[in-house]
Amino acid sequence: MGSLAFESQTLSSETMAIDREEDIVHVRKRARMLAQARGFDAFACAALTTAASELARNVWVHGGGGQATLEELSDGNRFGIRMVFRDQGPGIADLERALQGGYSTARSLGLGLSGTRRLVEDFAIDTRPGEGTRVTITKWTRF
Amino acid sequence: MARLGFDERELQSRRAIFELHDEDLQRLTAIRAIAERHMAEVVDGFYALLLGHPGTRRFLTDDAQVARLKRTQSAYFLQLFDGRCDLPYVENRIRVGAVHERIGLAPKWYIAAYRRYLALLLERVVLDIPDRAEALAAYQSLKKIVAFDMSIAIDTYIAANLESLGRHQAAIRELSTPVIRVHERLLLLPLVGAIDSQRAQQVMEMVLVRVIEEKARAIIIDIAGVPVVDTKVADHLLKTTAAVKLIGAQTILTGISAQVARTIVQLGVDISSMHTLARLSEGIELGLELVGKRIAPKEPS
């Protein structure tokens, strides 16, 4: 008691499959819709949509498909969007290098993970070789 | 035929799904004489249903046409009791499905019509078979072949829809990379919509072909209509720029919104190999400069 901060509360949760390339577009469109509806400004919307695009693509390209769970949060003062991306792919062998950026196993820019990390407030990754990867990101509306 | 991938193997597997065995076909052949006796009633009853609903009546324009269709229907009716369910039979069913799809008859009518057909067969033909056990068995066999036919008709609808979807996609793909000649040796590609891997490849190829064709010195790529510029899209743009550079031209990227600019920087993407500008008009000015031209105000007369 005595604290003004509320526990963050989940307002909604939905899970989408990422099995085809088109699903990347579906996931990021949904992310943009939720962010706009919860009053995120244009920069935050762009950041969240881009982050969704990056991580959904990772699930499709590196994980061989998986799921995205999109949640709307509230901590009493602000709204938040949390997105969890899961795959049962090979996992990331050298996580430190992948998070540094400029390292790619797919002959691309290799900035997906490191870049996405800078687009959101909270970024957590859990990867196990041979078992898969789970990335959780959260972005909050500004006060 | 090829469109549905219907071959002997598919035929056998589908007959197995519907449990449509040779005994069923034989049972139907055995009641052919009774069926023939009631053919006119079944066909007339069937067309009474079709003429009774606006949804199907609109396809039946005059008496001559109805009479012709009734003859086709009679032929189909007899085929059910021919004891044959082979590739020519299936081919025939596919043709019938395709005709109905083409005239725009919705599948619900197809299924409803088959329901009525079965009811008529039960009332007129099956109940006329003296032995009750035999009648029941014959009815089961009839249901199998009718369901089998229906499955082919529905597949035909789906195949036709997929085909038209494929045609639309091809058309959109063709329209989605319009490389426009702005001026001598200056090209413009306005990109609109999501850029997936297939489209990215097509953009690259189209740009290279057109740059060579037009002996272009510069190409403006406007991304104002691209909803999300993530590292993949940036990567495609950078690769296209590198390839364009190899054939002696420069790339000017325009239509970058404030949000996209900030996102690209946050992602850590280095796009310094391209000329970048916020507005398309500025891109055109720069492009003209690169080909040795400029826009000048009209001389006062």
What's the domain count of chain A? 1
Distances (CA, A) of A22 to A28, A75, B194, B203: 10, 33, 10, 18
For B21-54, the pLDDT digits (tens) are 999 999 999 989 888 998 888 888 888 888 888 8
User: Which of chain A's residues have a Cβ under 8 Å away from the Cβ of B234?
Assistant: 109
Query: What are the structural domains of chain B?
Result: 2-173 (1.10.490.10), 180-290 (3.30.750.24)
Query: Is 80 exceeded by the pLDDT of residue B234?
Result: yes
Residue A4 lies in a domain: no
> What pLDDT, on a 0 to 100 scale, did the predictor assign at position A106?
62
Q: Mean pLDDT across the stretch B194-218?
A: 89
User: Is B232's CB within 8 Å of A115's CB?
Assistant: no
For B95-143, the pLDDT digits (tens) are 888 888 888 888 888 888 888 888 988 888 888 888 889 899 999 999 9
Find the domain containing A123 and state its range: 10-140
> What pLDDT, on a 0 to 100 scale, did the predictor assign at position B4?
67
Structure-token match 């919509």, residue found: B193
Structure-token match 């577009």, residue found: A25
Which residue from B110, B111, B87 is spatially nearest to B4, judged by alpha carbons? B87
User: Rounded distance, CA B76 to CA B237, Å?
Assistant: 59
Query: What is the DSSP code string of chain A?
Result: ----PPPPEEEEEEEEEE-SHHHHHHHHHHHHHHHHHTT--HHHHHHHHHHHHHHHHHHHHTSSSEEEEEEEEE-SS-EEEEEEEEE-S---S-HHHHHHSS--SSSS---HHHHHHHHSSEEEEEEETTTEEEEEEEEE---
Residue A2 lies in a domain: no
Residue A51 lies in a domain: yes
Q: Is A107 on the interface with B (CB under 8 A)?
A: no
Using 50 as the pLDDT threshold, list the residues of chain A that sit under it.
Answer: 1-4
> What pLDDT, on a 0 to 100 scale, did the predictor assign at position A1?
42
Segment holding B252, helix H or strand E: strand B250-254
Amino acid, single-letter form, for residue B260: V
Residue A5 lies in a domain: no
User: Which of chain A's residues have a Cβ under 8 Å away from the Cβ of B228?
Assistant: 28, 46, 49-50, 53
Of the partner residues A21, A32, A112, the one whose CB lies closest to the CB of residue B231: A112
Q: Mean pLDDT across the stretch B143-147?
A: 93
> What pLDDT, on a 0 to 100 scale, did the predictor assign at position A72?
94
User: Is A45's CB within 8 Å of B235's CB?
Assistant: no
Residue A91 lies in a domain: yes
User: Is A45's CB within 8 Å of B259's CB?
Assistant: yes
User: Is B235's CB within 8 Å of A108's CB?
Assistant: yes
Q: Is B244 on the interface with A (CB under 8 A)?
A: no
User: Is A118's CB within 8 Å of B229's CB?
Assistant: no
User: Which CATH number characterizes residue A83's domain?
Assistant: 3.30.565.10
For B43-83, the pLDDT digits (tens) are 888 888 888 888 888 888 888 888 888 888 888 888 889 98
> What pLDDT, on a 0 to 100 scale, did the predictor assign at position B213?
92
> What pLDDT, on a 0 to 100 scale, did the predictor assign at position A109?
72
User: Is B231's CB within 8 Å of A114's CB?
Assistant: no
Q: Is B263 on the interface with A (CB under 8 A)?
A: yes
Token pair listed for B66: 């109805």
> What pLDDT, on a 0 to 100 scale, did the predictor assign at position B113?
83
> What pLDDT, on a 0 to 100 scale, did the predictor assign at position A26?
94
